[in-house]
Structure 1
Amino acid sequence: MAEKQLILASTSKYRYELLSRLAYKFEAVAPLADEEKEKDLSLAPRALAEKLARIKAESLKGPGKVVIGGDQLISFEGRILGKSHTPEKAVKELMSMQGKTHELITAICVFDGDKMYAHTDVTRMTMKKRTLEQIERYVQLDEPMDCAGSYKAESHGIMLFDKIETEDFTAIQGLPLIALSKILENLNL
């Protein structure tokens, strides 16, 4: 029986580093799906994250392949927050979330040929109140513009929080390794 090829449908350096922790041989490949075109903001945040994870994985699926797709977004006060892309937008988003709780939704989808396995982690995160100067200093320090919510809780961003409620801390970084390792073990990889 030929060994299955494990593919991470992502160009995210964070997801790559996380999957490396599981000690599997894998290849990271950009998904063939157009994420922006598929982003349907009429969907509930969890449904949107799950849809985007699925289409990324599905875009690379095929015989002999196990493909992992993931997506992450923030649900805050009825809005969906993704990556800020600019320091100014990052500061604005962080200022609006201070002293409040938001949900960080991390969805994964795994295709083994045509069989699909999925998991979604919802982490509740409560931010401390910070001054504008403290938030600006944080954004300068961590440069979190490529992260949903404009923070890196696994780095200096941890100082922004009063409370984090999660089942899997790695989900905050972009790939829930506890659930993913169970899926991959069940696939006999």
Structure 2
Amino acid sequence: MAEKQLILGSTSKYRKELLSRLAYSFTATAPLIDEDKEKDPKLSPKALAEKLAFMKAESLKSSDRVVIGGDQLVSFEGQILGKAHTKENAVKQLMAMQGKTHELITAICVFDGDKAIPYTNITRMTMRTLSQSQLERYVELDEPTDCAGSYKIEKHGIMLFDKIETDDFTAIQGLPLIALNKILEDIGL
């Protein structure tokens, strides 16, 4: 029997780099869903991340593939914070979160043929209290406009935090490698 092809259902350069750390051969492919159309405001942040991860993986599944789908969002005071897209919005997001704790929800779903294997990591992150000029300097330094929550923990974003509570630091970057590696080993890859 031929070995199944491993597919990362993502175009994220961060997720590609993370998955490469596990030394599997894989192909990254854009999921076949319109994420914006699937966002249901009635869902909790956790349920939404899980739904999107499932749908991304499901959209690429087939009997000869193992497909990984993932979604990440920031839950802050009952609201979902997405990507800022502009430096001004990034500073606004960081200003609102400073001195407070938010949750970074990272959901994955692995499809082995028709079998779905979900996993969700919730990391609690407490930001330091910083001035607007400090946050503006940070945004200029890392340009985190393409990241949920407007920070890049793998770069200089670590300096924004007082406390991080997580089971898997790589989940903060977009793919919980500890859990994912176990799932892939359990299915025989």
1:82: Cα distance to partner? 1.2
- In structure 1, the partner of 2:168 is 168
Q: Which has the larger displacement, 33-42 or 11-20? A: 33-42
Q: Kindly indicate whether residue 158 of structure 2 is the aligned counterpart of residue 158 of structure 1.
A: yes
Q: What is the correspondence of 1:26-105 to structure 2 with a 5 Å cutoff? A: 26-105=26-105
Which amino acid in the other structure matches residue 185 of structure 2?
E
CA distance in 2, matches of 1:162, 1:20: 29
CA distance in 2, matches of 1:14, 1:41: 26
SS at match of 2:72: strand
Aligned-residue sequence identity (percent) comes to 76
Equivalent pairs counted in the alignment come to: 189
Cα deviation digits, residues 112-163 of structure 1 (max 9, x gap): 1100101000000000000000000000000001111000111100000000
Q: Kindly indicate whether residue 14 of structure 2 is the aligned counterpart of residue 14 of structure 1.
A: yes
| Stretches (4+) displaced over 4 A | none
**TM-score in terms of structure 2 length:** 0.99
- In structure 1, the partner of 2:122 is 122
Q: CA RMSD in A?
A: 0.4
CA distance in 2, matches of 1:64, 1:117: 16
Q: Structure 2: which 5+ residue stretches go unaligned?
A: none
SS at match of 1:83: coil
1:104: Cα distance to partner? 0.2
- In structure 2, the partner of 1:25 is 25
Q: Structure 1: which 5+ residue stretches go unaligned?
A: none
SS at match of 2:17: helix
CA distance in 1, matches of 2:113, 2:11: 21
SS at match of 1:93: helix
**TM-score in terms of structure 1 length:** 0.99
